[in-house]
Amino acid sequence: MKVCLLLCLFFLAVTGVSAQEREYLYVENSRGGDITVIEIPSHKVVGTIPASKVGHHPDDVIATKSGDTIYVNRLDKRDILAISTATEEVLWRVEVGGTPHHMSLSADERFLYAPIFNDQFLEVIDTGLRKVVARVEVGYGPHGTFLSPDGKRLYVGGLLGHQIAVVEVGTHKVVKKIQFPNGVRPFAISPDEKRLYVQLSRLHGFVVVDLRDDRIAQTVHLPTFGKDIPTSAYAEFPHTVNHGMALTGDGKYLFVAATLSDFVAVYSLPDLDLVATVPVGKEPGWLVLSRDGRFCYASNRKDNSVSVISVSDRKEIARIAVGDYPQRMTTAVVRGRRVADRRGGR
């Protein structure tokens, strides 16, 4: 008993998580309409936010820094839900002007940014007023968003417009646009904001943008291991080959989902040496890191699972069964979760 207590205290000290709080991974299941809740680091499914509360094809989930709220978009309802992580009840909802895709929060969390994929706007939601307060024209088909490391700019990737629009936080004005040869999928920004790592439609790999002149400096091709990419990925919309990137907090490693090839590639930075390829489940489509950077999670949409990758060992250490067609994920450190745990798999 004494040994267990000491180990527990050591873990809490290392992770910075207190005895009153726990870290969880929230996985939105697009077809199932629910959200799987996984405890970290035990990697056990402890609950589900059911479709009766969410439903209507959720497509993204993000968390506040405090961990008290997650935001979930719904494609069919064209709205965004705010859900309490303590009670897992819906706190409020906001309708938007079209189909919302991948969201971001401002650094002070006053604004929630929702790209409207079937139009050319980024909608800005004031989380205090709980309403849309601005619409920013960013180009047709905005798909992904990413806040700059200093919180002053929002990068908005265009899947249909083949560009990234950079929006000034506060003024909500577009300050520049970066052009690409194809649709912009997930992307990551280096901690010093000198480079963008961008996945593109029809590309088995990614490009590196030098933000000093906003030009593509390098194209990196992922290995194929002698297997051809299905021709449908190049011929049929949405032309998805790879979809998912995660950059470690120290900026030393870039994790890249090879969606149609069922692995996650790991590159060292800034040299972009391929240091590992990690086999995961079927069609990994999103990557996130745990708050302490020990684990990288890949949602495998074709076999309804999440792969747990050890960042230090660069190996899959667990595979967790989740809901129907898992896609976007987020982590949150939750204080005072008041929902009974349901241990075990689905």
pLDDT for 228: 82
Find the domain containing 78 and state its range. 20-335
> Would 340 be classed as within a structural domain?
no
pLDDT for 3: 46
pLDDT category at 289 given cuts 50, 70, 90 is very high
> Would 2 be classed as within a structural domain?
no
> Would 24 be classed as within a structural domain?
yes
> Would 12 be classed as within a structural domain?
no
What is the rounded average pLDDT of the residues 257-278? Answer: 97
Give residue-wise pLDDT tens across range 5-60: 444 444 445 455 555 799 999 999 999 999 999 999 999 999 999 999 999 999 99
* Contacts (Cβ under 8 Å, ≥6 apart) of 67: 21, 85, 332, 333, 334, 335
Number of domains composing the chain: 1
> Would 5 be classed as within a structural domain?
no
**d(Cα 90, Cα 32) in Å, to the nearest integer?**
18
pLDDT for 46: 97
Burial 142-180 (b: 16+ CB within 10 A, else e): bbbbbbeeeeebbbbbbbbbbbbbbbebeebebeeebeb
> Would 346 be classed as within a structural domain?
no
Give residue-wise pLDDT tens across range 292-304: 999 999 999 999 9
> Would 43 be classed as within a structural domain?
yes
pLDDT for 344: 45
Give residue-wise pLDDT tens across range 78-118: 999 999 999 999 999 999 999 999 999 999 999 999 999 99
> Would 50 be classed as within a structural domain?
yes
pLDDT category at 342 given cuts 50, 70, 90 is confident
pLDDT category at 336 given cuts 50, 70, 90 is confident
- Mean residue pLDDT of the chain comes to 93
Residue 249 sits in a domain whose CATH number is 2.130.10.10
Task: Answer whether residue 317 shows pLDDT above 80.
Answer: yes
Q: Which residues pair with 156 in a beta bridge?
A: 145, 165
Give residue-wise pLDDT tens across range 221-241: 999 988 888 888 888 888 999
Give residue-wise pLDDT tens across range 141-198: 999 999 999 999 999 999 999 999 999 999 999 999 999 999 999 999 999 999 999 9
